[in-house]
């Protein structure tokens, strides 16, 4: 079975894309569907941008919550995510093991992650 090829390159959000995350996204849950609400700068209001319906094997509340948390977490942790992706790319480029640069970048990102999750040491 062929493996899917995933594009692991990260990119910086454009100013227009970033404007959608100025305010945290939220969910409105109903008996058979959930809505995702986001602040839209063009209207200056929170608007429903997606609705997810319960279907066989899909719990709309769970899916809407996952999407909302992913977007909100991405905005808070964007710099860390970008640095981790860069360190991982360096690791993948090293066919014969890690070179000094890749090892240094990986250690720096791990140190930053530890400080963000456990506070300064």
Q: Which residues of the chain have pLDDT under 70?
A: 1-13, 15-22, 75, 91-92, 94-98, 113-114, 116-121
Spell out the SS3 assignment of the chain. CCCCCCCCCCCCCCHHHHHCCCCCCEEEECCCEEEEEEEECCCCEEEEEEEEECECCECHHHHHHHHHHHHHHHHHHHHHHHHHHHHHHHHHHCCCCCCHHHHHHHHHHHHHHHHHHHCCC
Beta carbons of 27 and 52 less than 8 angstroms apart:
no
pLDDT in tens, 84-115: 777 777 766 766 666 777 777 777 777 776 67
User: What is the sign of the dihedral through the CA atoms of 38, 39, 42 and 44?
Assistant: positive
Q: What pTM value is reported for the model?
A: 0.55
Domain boundaries, the chain: 16-118
């Amino acid at each position: 079975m062929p493996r899917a090829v995933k594009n692991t390159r990260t990119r910086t959000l454009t100013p227009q894309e970033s404007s959608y995350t100025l305010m945290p996204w939220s969910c409105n849950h109903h008996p058979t569907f959930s809505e995702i609400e986001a602040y839209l700068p063009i209207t200056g209001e929170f608007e429903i941008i997606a609705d997810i319906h319960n279907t066989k094997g899909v719990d709309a509340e769970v899916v809407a919550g996952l999407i909302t948390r992913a977007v909100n977490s991405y905005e808070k942790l964007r710099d860390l995510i970008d640095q981790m992706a860069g360190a991982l790319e360096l690791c993948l480029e090293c066919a014969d093991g890690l070179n000094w640069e890749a090892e240094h970048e990986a250690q720096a990102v791990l140190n930053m992650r530890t400080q963000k999750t456990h506070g300064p040491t």
